């Protein structure tokens, strides 16, 4: 995860989850990120 970026929300099976420190990601989760422009660009380039 680039510095300055956070997972803001997780969509899982129709539910919205606000992640906490021990929240585990599962296959099929859809993530919403927040962060600075450079960090978000790095995420897009890495995972698109």
The two three-digit tokens of residue 4, written as one number: 């300055």
Tell if the pTM clears 0.85, that is, is over it. Answer: no
Strands (E), the chain: 5-12, 15-17, 30-35
Residue 17 to residue 33: CA distance in whole angstroms: 13
C-alpha 2 chain-centroid distance: 11
Other C-beta atoms closer than 10 Å to the C-beta of 6 total: 11
* pLDDT digits 0-9 by tens, 18-31: 999 999 999 999 99
pLDDT given at position 22: 96
What integer pLDDT is reported at residue 48 of this predicted model? 83
Q: What is the pLDDT of residue 19?
A: 97
> Residue-wise pLDDT tens for the chain (48 aa)?
899 899 999 999 999 999 999 999 999 999 999 999 999 999 999 988
């Amino acid at each position: 995860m680039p510095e300055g970026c956070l997972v803001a929300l997780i969509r899982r099976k129709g539910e919205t989850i606000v992640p906490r420190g021990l929240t585990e990601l599962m296959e099929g989760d859809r993530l919403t990120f927040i962060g600075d422009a450079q960090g978000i660009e790095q995420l897009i380039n890495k995972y698109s």
